[in-house]
């Protein structure tokens, strides 16, 4: 479910872009955040927690909780809820953090 027209923000763009999540091509609306685009495609799990390997996803949705880290175009630890999706963007879930676990 997406808000197409907002009484204050106005009409959203209907222009579509294609991006990739774990190499799977997905469609998004131009101007959506990566987190919103993933949720619109039914994806809730963005990675696992560092110590307990529990599923992580969008919690606050405004860049405060640091729960929605993903890797975007090779850059680790990008907040998906504050990053706008772009054509051809390659997003990967954060399934591991070898530096924290001493595996690096
Ligand atoms: S959901 Fe909280 S920082 Fe992204």
Label residue 61 exposed, middle or buried (CB < 10 Å: 0-12, 13-18, 19+).
Answer: middle
86-104 pLDDT, tens per residue? 999 999 998 876 555 445 4
- What residues does ligand 1 touch, defined as CB less than 6 Å away? 58-61, 63-68, 79, 81
> So where are the chain's domains?
5-93
50-59 pLDDT, tens per residue? 888 899 999 9
Give, in words, the CATH class of 5-93: alpha beta
CA 96, distance to chain mean position in Å, is: 16
Pocket test for ligand 1, best of 58, 72, 77 (most atoms within 8 A of CB): 58
Q: What is the mean predicted confidence (pLDDT) over 7-18?
A: 83
* 43 has pLDDT over 90: yes
Distance set, CA 12 to CA 9, 30, 84 (Å): 8, 9, 14
pLDDT for the residue 101: 43
């Amino acid at each position: 479910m997406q808000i197409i027209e907002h009484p204050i923000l106005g009409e959203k763009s209907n222009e579509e872009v294609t991006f990739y999540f774990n190499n799977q091509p997905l469609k998004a609306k131009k101007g959506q955040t990566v987190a919103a685009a993933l949720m619109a495609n039914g994806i809730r799990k963005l990675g696992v927690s560092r110590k307990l390997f529990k599923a992580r996803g969008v919690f606050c949705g405004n860049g405060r909780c640091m729960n929605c880290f993903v890797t975007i175009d090779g850059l680790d630890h990008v907040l998906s809820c504050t990053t706008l999706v772009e054509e051809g963007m390659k997003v990967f879930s954060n399934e591991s953090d070898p530096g924290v676990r001493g595996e690096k």
